[in-house]
Structure 1
């Protein structure tokens, strides 16, 4: 059990910042960069420790999308490296107020944040460790989401083309490895008509084997029985108006293809349960091979981008093995960084999808789409993961995990699945040919909302409520529009200003929605059901206090200010 010790290292430096005593194992320079926000620069330090009073604390937020309970001091450290995690954590108080948010500037190195309640004192202790520390410490009392947004801006900006923000169809859950050109083109045509602009073809294109293993990864040659002419097939998808991304499990080389023998001795480890080895990116010829294979998809087949999967599997549990002869760096993460940089230099500007857990800002220069980890048929998990990613992704496009549902799912629940991904880019993955008319109408309606309010939803100010409960209410706004999603029977505040149009998506089972107005105002109200059918419209007088409206499950309330009010 790890016990927090405030003076566990010799030769410490102690500084007082915002009423908090911080100890470090080297000299430090402290600079104020905002209202109760500081940067601590300690190039020679490897550890820093402090405590804050645990008063009105509700949650402890980390980017791992785990539980939000406030941990005890013996809680395991939250680790971060280039291939996994991000070095940030936030202690959250009542009503989402920030108590203490900490982030490290080193987004590529190996760092840890250890936090927990000191039972003896009722304080919350935090210890950060790394090699050379530059720390951002935020003790302001604004919303924790605002503190995290500034952390993302502090880390830097991501390149994100508009195409990365448009709805996606994925073949993974709907087709798994049973993919061929006719099936892909059929789903692409249907998806385009419903509002998708990109298709991602996942595992299966490279093999006729359907065992769901990785023994046939590594050569990255099309299964010619399913894709006899990949370039011609991609062109037909382009003619539909769809961008095309192709899946690569980039670290794996399976035992059933010639690349396995070619790179024998340049593996990090062998994975028995996957029938594949993990390539060692510290070798220049390994990187050149992978870059060449991935580049072929874009240069020869005219793909618009790549789904780069399993980057986190480059990391070896227990530490990096000694490099074999021919490696040009000792650290595996450094090899991964060189691989991604070489791929970006070869294929600048393409769409590149990463996913949890490899969310480090150190990878931002080389990707522009970051997806929630697999959580099939779990809308609440999809919501929490996408919101968590949005909080620290900056301008990078955040994508939902592929959304699927049982064929007999009611139309309303189809809409609920989509509303749970409302603040991300939705990826749909069901057989569109098998959908009932009502299910198709729900998809078409909600993808239309995603597109119409794309800027507000993806680029507006994001304010999720109650992280300790998985964000039962989330809002975003940009000065013109405000979009609110309600996932539990909670009342909804209607601000007096800051919007010309307000949308309320109801994913809760309770159709009775209480609106709390801040000022007397008259608005035009339209209510839609889950399929986009108007069920009511009226002029609605909002007084200070409560107003009750009915919004169907999976439905939408749209409020527009009248000319006098606007």
Structure 2
């Protein structure tokens, strides 16, 4: 009901390509419309209370993709679709995807820092798809214009997202990827929650290194008062000496085992149990009920200096290789409130302090890693973290796949990590395969009590990480195709040079474009032992197939269509032309 609720019918619309139109109202004015490559750029001068509206043909729409997309609500009605964005939450970008995976409508706004909300959905009355951006006081105070980008031609939706993401990242230099950003991680979180210690970490370190991990992420629980799933003790960020009598010594032992150390911190949280609280309480006026602690307001110089000092001290005192910085989006509760600090806007303050932290860490430990997680994925903060991780989804392999692929579509220079994977240690070994194969197009993080894990599970994890590393350049750097978002990306592929990796997460038809391909790798994350396919191109190739565990290759000849034999929950390599 956007068209009715906001009197959009009275707007004077301007036509773009393919039946897409935009309109402004409430004092907003169109300053320019231009074509930049595959994108139409509309520059709009904005005022508080104004609005920018887009309307596009609904067509054969199947899903509306946005950076936090999940197929549970693929195509909402316009009275239901809402997505908030800010410097540390999502991004103002959206793509209407048809049933063939094409972008029938794709747009972005360049207002990445201040908090705002995109309203969107299918109009019952007009049978169109409508998007609305309301111009808030904060947005209008921070800038005088907004640039709207609309993809001009119809493209594969992955390409449309990429075009818009490149535009949004334009002029934003990414953080140099750390040495370990592209290496598998051992995380303590799901394995032990807050019940970690020197002994627990070191019991798992040699096993983690043995299966292929190159770093250990010491998660929540290392710090004083780090027990109980609440955060009233946060703020001092010193070790719990009962758990870690010599934290620097723990890090040194990890390094000796060939593992780098990254530490979790939630620097904006300040609890009443901490010694730091009395000096910072006046800068923390928001109480988070779900975290049971106070949240620091970065609009104050004193807060920013404290945060930089804390992060720098941790890196220096414990010789860390990086920080996993958490709970950034809770700071946006200050959005729209009067500032008593030296920076008026929360989004501006967040980009400022995160920039200062990143610079400080680089000066103390050059080449260090910084991890953010969903939803802190805006291009506005991309320069301050070389790693972005999927949001928490314990044991949900499908959600982990969807989240990492969504991040892959949006990210430009950042390295995408999976949420730490976990599984039931009493489950069949196929559970290990399913969890890992679902995150193959990202950097896997693993979080299990490895020291007591069944040997078959450890061996399978090691096998798959070896395969992942051998394919890493293609998986992380190839041309990515993800299939239909509303179906949860059931078939995914990536091609780099003459190598094509295709992953089946449901026993769906594999569309194989084998033109110029010399190596085809099929990841079968299903219980099926044969997968249907069609081949594009001229003469169907003959190949030599070798699956995991097999010692002798077998001949494979592709017809125009058919079934290819592949072991369930396994990987098959096919050398074409052999």
TM-score interval for Structure 1 and Structure 2 normalised by the shorter chain = over 0.9
Structure 1 residue corresponding to 2:462, chosen from 419, 444, 449: 444
Return the offset for 1:27: 2.2
Query: Secondary structure of the equivalent of 1:153?
Result: helix
Q: Give CA deviations for 1:329-354 in whole Å, capped at 9, x if unaligned.
A: 12222222221121122122421110
In 1, Cα distance between equivalents of 2:196 and 2:348:
35
Does 1:468 find its partner at 2:473?
A: no
Q: What secondary structure is seen at the aligned counterpart in 2 of 1:388?
A: helix
Return closer, same or farther for 1:113/1:323 CA change in 2, 3 Å cut-off.
closer
Q: Counterpart of 2:448?
A: 430
Counterpart contact for 1:245–1:303, Cα < 8 Å: yes
- Asked if the contact 1:103–1:135 (Cα under 8 Å) also holds between the matched residues in 2, the reply is yes
Partner secondary structure for residue 356 of structure 2 = helix
- Counterpart of 2:164 in structure 1 is 151
CA displacement, residues 447-477 of structure 1 (integer Å, 9 cap, x when unaligned)? 1122111111111111111111111111111
Whole-Å separation in 2 of the counterparts to 1:3 and 1:517: 45
* Per-residue Cα deviation, 1:533-565 (whole angstroms, up to 9, x for no partner): 22762121112222x2332321111111235xx
Q: Given the alignment, which residue of 87, 98, 111 partners 1:93? A: 98
In structure 2, how many angstroms separate the alpha carbons of the residues matched to 1:99 and 1:364? 28
Deviation for aligned residue 1:20? 2.8
SS of equivalent to 1:310: coil
8 A Cα contact 2:57 2:127, kept in partner: yes
Unaligned runs of 5+ in 2: none
Q: Against the structure 1 CA distance between its residues 4 and 351, is the aligned structure 2 distance closer, same or farther, given a 3 Å change threshold?
A: farther
Q: Does 1:540 align with 2:553?
A: no
CA distance in 2, matches of 1:56, 1:554: 34
Aligned equivalents of 1:374 and 1:448: distance in 2? 25
Flag the 1:234–1:4 CA change in 2: closer, same or farther, 3 A.
farther
| Higher mean C-alpha deviation, range 445-454 or range 507-516 | 507-516
Q: Which residue does the alignment assign to 1:138?
A: 151
Whole-Å Cα distance in 2 between the matches of residues 65 and 335 of structure 1?
Answer: 27
1:3, CA displacement in angstroms?
4.7
SS across alignment from 2:29: coil
- Residues 148 and 238 (structure 1), Cα distance of their counterparts in 2 relative to 1, 3 Å cut: same
Alignment pair present for 1:491 and 2:504? no
- C-alpha distance in 2 between matches for 1:535 and 1:81: 53
Q: Does 1:234 align with 2:251?
A: yes
Q: For the structure 1 residues 34 and 438, does the alpha-carbon distance in structure 2 shift closer, same or farther, using more than 3 Å as the test? A: same
For the pair 1:213 / 2:212, whether they are aligned, the reply is no
SS of match in other structure, 1:250? coil
- Shift in CA distance, 254/535, structure 1 to aligned 2, threshold 3 Å: farther
In 1: Cα distance, 2:504 partner to 2:519 partner: 17
Q: 1:171 to 1:14 in 2, by over 3 A?
A: same
Displacement after TM superposition at 1:302 (Å) = 1.1
The 2-side partners of 1:162 and 1:493 are apart by 35
Counterpart of 2:84? 79
Q: Distance in 2 between matches of 1:17 and 1:230?
A: 60
Distance 1:6 1:34, change over 3 A: farther
What is aligned with 2:108?
A: 103
Match of 1:482, SS? strand
Gaps in structure 1 of 5+ consecutive residues: none
2:13–2:22 contact (8 Å) kept in structure 1:
yes
Q: Please name the residue that 1:521 is paired with.
A: 541
Go from structure 1 to structure 2 and tell me whether the alpha carbon gap of 1:2 and 1:543 turns closer, same or farther (over 3 Å shift): closer
CA contact (8 A) 2:120 2:132 kept: yes
Structure 1 residues 314, 125: closer, same or farther in 2, change over 3 A? Answer: same
Taking the aligned partners of 2:163 and 2:528, their CA distance within structure 1 comes to: 35
CA contact (8 A) 1:255 1:275 kept: no
Query: 166-175 or 124-133, which moves further after superposition?
Result: 124-133
- Structure 1 residues 302 and 433, CA gap change in structure 2 (3 angstroms): same
In structure 2, how many angstroms separate the alpha carbons of the residues matched to 1:536 and 1:94? Answer: 41
1: CA distance, partners of 2:277 / 2:350:
19
Report the 3-state secondary structure (helix = DSSP H, G, I; strand = E; otherwise coil) of the residue aligned with 1:404: coil
Match of 1:556 in 2: 571
| Alpha-carbon distance in 1 for matches of 2:240, 2:425 | 29
Contact 2:81 2:121 in 1 (8 A): no
TM-superposed CA distance for 1:409, in Å, is: 1.6
Secondary structure at the counterpart of residue 100 of structure 2: helix
Give yes or no for contact 1:380–1:420 (8 Å, CA) kept in 2: yes
Aligned partners of 1:329 and 1:230: how far apart in 2?
36
In the alignment of these two chains, the number of paired residues is: 553
Q: For residues 185-221 of structure 1, what are the alpha-carbon distances to aligned partners after superposition, in whole Å with 9 as ceiling and x for unaligned?
A: 2222211111111110001111255222212211001
SS in 2 for 1:258: coil
Query: Could you tell me how far apart the structure 1 residues matched to 2:573 and 2:489 are?
Result: 22
Offset of residue 369 of structure 1: 0.7
TM-score by length of 1: 0.93
Shift of 1:78: 1.8
**Within 1, Cα distance between the matches of 2:309 and 2:486?**
45
- Given that 1:13 and 1:28 are in contact with CA atoms closer than 8 Å, whether structure 2 keeps it comes out as no
- The answer to whether structure 1 residue 52 and structure 2 residue 52 are counterparts is no
1:249 aligns with 2:296: no
Aligned-residue CA RMSD (Å): 2.0
TM-superposition CA deviations, 1:4-40 (whole Å, max 9, x none): 5686498x664321143321230231111234x2111
Q: Which moved more, 1:295-304 or 1:208-217?
A: 208-217
Aligned with 2:408: secondary structure? helix
- The residue number in structure 2 matching 1:179 is 196
Matched, 1:323 2:339: yes
CA distance in 2, matches of 1:8, 1:145: 30
Match of 1:115? 120
CA contact (8 A) 1:4 1:73 kept: no
Deviation of the 1:173 alpha carbon: 0.5
Counterparts of 1:110 and 1:271, CA distance in 2: 19
C-alpha distance in structure 1 between counterparts of 2:3 and 2:155, whole Å: 31
Choose the corresponding residue for 1:33, options 29, 33, 36.
36
Question: Aligned residue for 2:385?
Answer: 367
- Name the CA distance, whole Å, in 2 between partners of 1:122 and 1:86: 26
Map of 1:15 onto structure 2: 14
Would the aligned equivalents of 2:421 and 2:446 in 1 still touch at CA under 8 Å? yes
Task: Name the CA distance, whole Å, in 2 between partners of 1:102 and 1:68.
Answer: 19
